[in-house]
């Protein structure tokens, strides 16, 4: 079974016509976009705000209408992926390098739905290197300040050169111990000069769509903190 396809497509069931949808980035949301594109071709009416140039390109190819914050005040529902999801629905995001725009879109959304295959579920955040977006100026100074928090940052490289985000910044991938206080770490990182934002998404996910051990889609909701099994 393709877990990413199953959970990515399931998210579309929570959308209604004539709403603004935050369109996330990554291999799981890809399937959300593909299904949305098919629905749009059939006359389904939505507007999307992409979290990356990559997503904007895919959406345009699928003829999904796009809008911007110049035209709207808030987003009805955002759908995005995650690199880690804790049992309390806290997230690490940014493996695709779009964490800043993803967080801006998530913050503007009335509801944030996360789609993630079962491999992304963890008891505690921290196994996946935490992405931190930083400005290019003063990289080494910023790294030294981050190291004082007890984590080890390394510049993300692509073909021997630093990865550049859609915002013209660098990404530091930070090896962390088990993150027992994610809210405090999110705050402490963002207080460092040179840090634009980090991949800890704390208290932001309203719903997580994933798979259980029986390969059944499950819905985890923050409000109820209960898990409902959906038989396919």
> Three-state secondary structure along 5-28?
HHHHHHHHHHCCCCEEEEECCCCC
Give the pLDDT confidence score for residue 167 in this predicted structure.
98
CATH code assigned to 3-121+202-230? 3.40.50.1360
Residue 212, token pair as written in the block: 């259980």
Contact 147, 166 (CB under 8 A): no
Please report, rounded to a whole number, the percentage of residues in the chain having pLDDT higher than 90.
94
pLDDT higher than 60, residue 227: no
Of 15-24, 104-113, 216-225, the one with minimum mean pLDDT is 216-225
Mean pLDDT over residues 12-41, rounded? 98
Evaluate whether the domain defined by 130-198 bears CATH number 3.20.20.150: no
Neighbours of 88 (CB within 10 A): 15
pLDDT higher than 70, residue 230: no
pLDDT higher than 50, residue 232: no
3-state secondary structure 128-193: CCEEEEECCCCHHHHHHHHHCCCCEEEECEECCEECCCCCCCEEEEEECCCECCHHHHHHHHHCCC
Give the pLDDT confidence score for residue 39 in this predicted structure.
97
* Same fold? 3-121+202-230, 130-198: no
Beta strand pairing status for 46-50 and 19-23?
A: parallel
CA atoms of 24 and 168, how far apart (whole Å): 19
CA atoms of 190 and 206, how far apart (whole Å): 23
Give the pLDDT confidence score for residue 173 in this predicted structure.
98
pLDDT higher than 90, residue 228: no
pLDDT higher than 50, residue 134: yes
pLDDT higher than 80, residue 98: yes
Mean pLDDT over residues 49-74, rounded? 97
Contact 92, 84 (CB under 8 A): yes
* Confidence grade of residue 224 (pLDDT, cut at 50, 70, 90): low
pLDDT higher than 90, residue 163: yes
* Confidence grade of residue 1 (pLDDT, cut at 50, 70, 90): confident
Given CA atoms 210, 107, 52, 186 in this order, what sign does their dihedral have? negative
Give the pLDDT confidence score for residue 205 in this predicted structure.
98
Give the pLDDT confidence score for residue 226 in this predicted structure.
45
| Residues taking part in catalysis | 102
- Break the chain into its structural domains and give their ranges: 3-121+202-230, 130-198
Q: What is the mean pLDDT of the chain?
A: 95
Give the pLDDT confidence score for residue 207 in this predicted structure.
98
What are the tens digits of pLDDT across the range 174-207? 999 899 999 999 999 999 999 999 999 999 999 9
Give the pLDDT confidence score for residue 30 in this predicted structure.
98
Please report, rounded to a whole number, the percentage of residues in the chain having pLDDT higher than 70.
96
């Amino acid at each position: 079974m393709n877990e990413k396809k199953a959970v990515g497509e399931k998210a579309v069931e929570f959308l209604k016509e004539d709403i603004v949808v935050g369109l996330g980035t990554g291999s799981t949301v890809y399937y959300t976009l593909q299904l949305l594109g098919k629905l749009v071709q059939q006359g389904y009416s939505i507007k999307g705000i992409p979290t990356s140039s990559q997503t904007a390109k895919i959406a345009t190819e699928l003829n999904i209408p796009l809008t911007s914050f110049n035209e709207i005040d808030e987003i009805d529902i955002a759908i995005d992926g995650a690199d880690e999801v804790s049992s309390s629905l806290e997230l690490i995001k940014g493996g695709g390098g779009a964490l800043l725009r993803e967080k801006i879109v998530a913050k503007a959304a009335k509801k944030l739905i996360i789609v993630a295959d079962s491999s992304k579920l963890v008891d505690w955040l921290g196994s996946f290197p935490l992405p931190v977006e930083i400005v290019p100026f003063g990289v080494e100074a910023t790294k030294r300040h981050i190291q004082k928090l007890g984590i080890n940052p390394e510049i993300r490289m692509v073909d021997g050169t630093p990865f550049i985000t859609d915002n013209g910044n660098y990404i530091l991938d930070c090896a962390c111990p088990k993150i027992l206080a994610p809210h405090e770490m999110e705050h402490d990182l963002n207080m460092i000069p040179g840090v634009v934002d980090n991949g800890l998404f704390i208290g932001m996910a309203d719903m997580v769509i994933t798979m259980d051990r029986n390969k059944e889609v499950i819905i985890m909701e923050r409000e109820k903190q209960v898990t409902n099994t959906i038989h396919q």
